[in-house]
Chains A and B, each alone.
Chain A
Amino acid sequence: MPIDWTALVVFVLLFVLIAALGFVAGRWRRGDLDLIEEWGLAGSRFGTVVTWFLLGGDLYTAYTFIAVPALMFGAGAIAFFAVPYTIMVYPFVFVVFPRLWQVARHNGYITASDFVRGRYGSRWLALAVAVTGIVATMPYIALQLVGIQVVIAGLGIEGAGWMADLPLVIAFVVLAAFTYASGLRAPAAIAIVKDTLIWITVIAAVVVIPIQLGGYGKIFAAIPPAKLLLAPGPANALLPYSGYFTLALGSALALFLYPHAMTGVLSASSRGAVSRNAALLPAYSFLLALIALLGFMALAIGVDKAPQFADYAKAYPRNFSVPALFIAVFPSWFVGVAFAAVAIGALVPAAIMSIAAANLWTRNIYKEFVNPTCTPAQESQMAKVVSLVVKFGALVFIVFIPLQYAINLQLLGGVWIIQTLPAVVIGLYTRWLNEKALLAGWLVGIVIGTGLAAAQGFTPVTAVPVGSYVLPSYTALATLLLNFVVAIVLTPLFNATAARGIDETRVEHYT
């Protein structure tokens, strides 16, 4: 495709504006950035509204905005599981996470691993939670870059060899620099601007495109019937469509265990701000559902058959669909706005994820196992440097390793992170489960989950045999049950053989 100069200029201007905002954000609600609580959690000063923007920008990532409609475009109705997923996540968050916020506030915890360490008195269980968080986050950061890559290519910028990756490298250096300088304040400030751009883009798209195409009826009429509804499962399925709802439920349970979600929750200034966000964040779910429908609009308008997108479709199969739709229906300047929204939409979660991973490394690995006597300034400095390392690793990953690896690893990330649920979530209510049994359950869940996912070529659903029936289930959810069984069965055994760890939290810390 030829370079669209108008779109490119608008895109670059918005990007520069946002980068500048990232640097000045360090002075917003000013704190001492030599403390990890200030750099990595913005001093927990964010009220309901900022938390809403921060979590919205954090959870509904650029990758989501590209990949969900791309899956609708390619596979149809199954991709809509993202909607029940986001419906199921918030009641869970409403019940559980204000409690986590409370105990974290009482005890100065900045990560889930901090809580597990305090609650169970087990540094090894805490290490397991920290390592899981870091490893599950890394491929997620890498995938954010895919969003940037796709829109840069959509602007018509092509290069040979290492030049092809230059725009991506520039975007990432900018991201790394402002995260280092401003900590969590940078993505929070940027999220406000970026979310506004996303809302404008999507509302324009869902109003303008159906008008151009002659209404939603025409759009859905153009979709092949096989893509409109879920395919019936195997004949001996125990429950109908269990693949669909277990994907939604498992993803919902996993989402807030990710370090970047945890960081967003813990940066809230009050317990009420967390509760209120559980009721207010569904507005973003609605946005995501509309974005999912863009995949069908791209199909209806025939971007896969348009000759001008042939090369683009070849370079980014499926993922090209929504950017191509925007190019086809919007004026150039608005294409620039929409693409900037996606690219900036990648920076916010990438920044928060790298901060969250850095917090975990510094607090729960470096300070716990390497240098227990480090000063607060050393701790903060370590976190800043690690956030750079994490992002650089993601960049190397996406430039040198086939994209499919990152996608597979991100799928595994969901299977891994959900294994921390028994320790973190059940731990908020009872410490009946023994820490060694939890560790054993975690290990079984990780090993079996990874094995199952790999054995079926990194597709998310496993056919669990139940007698003569099968229950197709999201692998993460199935292995979480296994994890629970192991933890429950082994608890009396470990209780009988050794003394329990010490609980530093008190009942009154939770309410």
Chain B
Amino acid sequence: MQGNGSRGYRVWYLLLLVPYLAMVWVSSYNKLEPEWAGIPFFYWYQLLWIWIGSALTVIVYFATRSHHR
């Protein structure tokens, strides 16, 4: 892939910054409510981000796949 826009795929990598922003913003999740199945927010929210982080990585993997093997 050479020429016009061949570097456009790099934009996808910005998605990988999202988990960092979410985790650094501790005030947004250091609380008990809302609970889920009896689990305080602090715990289930961070558990959820494990999967969101993984999903974002998968998306970036497929979006940039043709540029690295």
Contact = CB atoms under 8 A, between A and B. Distances in A.
B69 A83 contact: no
Contacts of B53: 87, 90-91, 282
Interface string A248-260: 1100000000000
Contacts of B31: 229
Contacts of B38: 215-220
Contacts, number: 105
Contact of A293 (B13, B16, B43): B43
Given A241-B26, A272-B69, A91 B42 contact: no
Interface stretch (A273-281, A409-417, A459-467): A273-281
B54 A90 contact: yes
Contacts of A240: 26-27
B45 to A, nearest CB: 10
A286 B42 contact: no
Contacts of A90: 53-54, 57
Interface in A272-316: 272, 275-276, 278-280, 282-283, 285-286, 289, 293
B68 A98 contact: yes
Interface in B5-44: 13, 16-17, 19-20, 23-24, 26-27, 30-32, 35, 37-40, 42-43
A221 to B, nearest CB: 8
A434 B30 CA distance: 42
Contact of B57 (A91, A216, A249, A286): A91
A80 B42 CA distance: 9
A232 B28 CA distance: 13
Interface string B52-69: 011011101100000011
* A: interface residue count bin: 35 or more
A271 B23 contact: no
Interface string A346-364: 0000000000000000000
Contacts of B20: 88, 91, 249
Given A83-B47, A87-B50, A271-B69, A241 B27 contact: yes
B56 A229 contact: no
Given A228-B32, A228-B42, A289 B27 contact: no
Highest count of chain B CB atoms <10 Å: which of A217, A272, A279, A286: A279
A77 interface: yes
A333 interface: no
Q: Main SS of the interface on chain B?
A: helix
Nearest to A287: B50
A271 B24 contact: no
Contact of B50 (A86, A95, A98, A230): A86
A245 interface: yes
B19 to A, nearest CB: 5
B26 A230 contact: yes
Nearest to B27: A240
Nearest to A232: B30
B23 A245 contact: yes
Nearest to B54: A282
A249 B25 CA distance: 12
A80 B24 contact: no
A244 interface: yes
Given A216-B38, A279-B61, A293-B43, A285 B30 contact: no
Contacts of A249: 20, 24
A229 B49 contact: no
Contact of B56 (A80, A91, A248, A285): A91
Given A94-B16, A216-B37, A275 B42 contact: no
A428 to B, nearest CB: 13
Contacts of B46: 80, 83-84, 87, 289
Contacts of B69: 270-272
A511 interface: yes
A98 B39 CA distance: 37
A183 B52 CA distance: 36
B51 A286 contact: yes
Interface of B: 13, 16-17, 19-20, 23-24, 26-27, 30-32, 35, 37-40, 42-43, 46-47, 49-51, 53-54, 56-58, 60-61, 68-69
Interface of A: 77, 80, 83-84, 86-88, 90-91, 94-95, 98, 215-220, 228-230, 240-241, 244-245, 248-249, 270-272, 275-276, 278-280, 282-283, 285-286, 289, 293, 511
Given A241-B30, A282-B53, 6 more contacts: A80-B42, A80-B43, A87-B19, A219-B38, A230-B26, A240-B26
9 contacts: A90-B57, A95-B13, A216-B39, A217-B37, A220-B38, A220-B39, A220-B40, A240-B27, A279-B58
- Nearest 5 Cβ contacts at the A-B interface: A217-B38, A241-B26, A216-B38, A91-B16, A282-B54
